[in-house]
Structure 1
Amino acid sequence: MNIFDRGREQAIAVFRIVVGVLFMCHGAQKLFGVLGSKGAVSITDWPSGPAGLIELVGGALIVIGLGTRIAALISSGAMAYAYFVVHQHAGLLPIQNKGELAAVYAWVFLLLAFTGPGAWAVDKVIASRKQEQALVTA
């Protein structure tokens, strides 16, 4: 096993936690009008409200590692939507249409949907308990 494989699960976990916290900040900014926001939006304001809810709740689930793959997939879809619907009309490339962050988040969350949560995740605790129960009942 090489040096890069040894810490893979922990590296994915740190990546997941940092990205999740940053994503939550966007949701808090939209929904609560904090962190330099110009004001809060209602969750019924389309598309900012639902996007803020996905950012806040999805980010929190990703941080704790609960339903990580599903939360990441939904978050990825929301960011792809943001890129193509909100930013794309202003130019073809992300650098032209100010959609770099939406594009990066879409790909980052798609990656997490495929890699899973890594170490230190509630998903791992639940899976190990299910496995222990299966061994006990078998």
Structure 2
Amino acid sequence: MNRPSLNIRIPSSCLETTKIFERPSTEYIIYQINAENELHASKVGHSFSLDAFLSDLPKDQCRYALRKISYMNPDTGTPMHKNVFYSWSPGGATETSQELYSEARERVLLGDVFKEYFEETVEAHDYDLIRDNDLLNRHREWSP
């Protein structure tokens, strides 16, 4: 089996799209590595719905995502959010794709694109992990 290339390029257009995540109206951004080994945003979600987010994660292809998790501060009742980086690697994805995304993950996380935008990372292999009530409850309980 041929090993995928780890020479992932992050074009300036990807950096510009990621800045959109700072806007209150942007709830999530889905990223993919294209055939030229460039990381780019494939979807920007503006109105949050867990089902919409999940439908934008293909069941047979790997992706990365930034997502705002909204919750209420249990002490003050103030609306809060936490930014989460997802590494999506479903069982239906090819082994080559899973390996590429797994090995490129650290470069992407530590590079200039994401490091200032997320507070937690989640590795997910199926939709149920993202839907998991314990995970969502944990996000609701975070304090600033």
TM-score category, normalised to shorter length: under 0.3
Which structure has greater helix proportion? 1
Structure index of larger Rg: 1
Which structure has greater strand proportion? 2
| TM value normalised by structure 1 | 0.26
| TM value normalised by structure 2 | 0.25
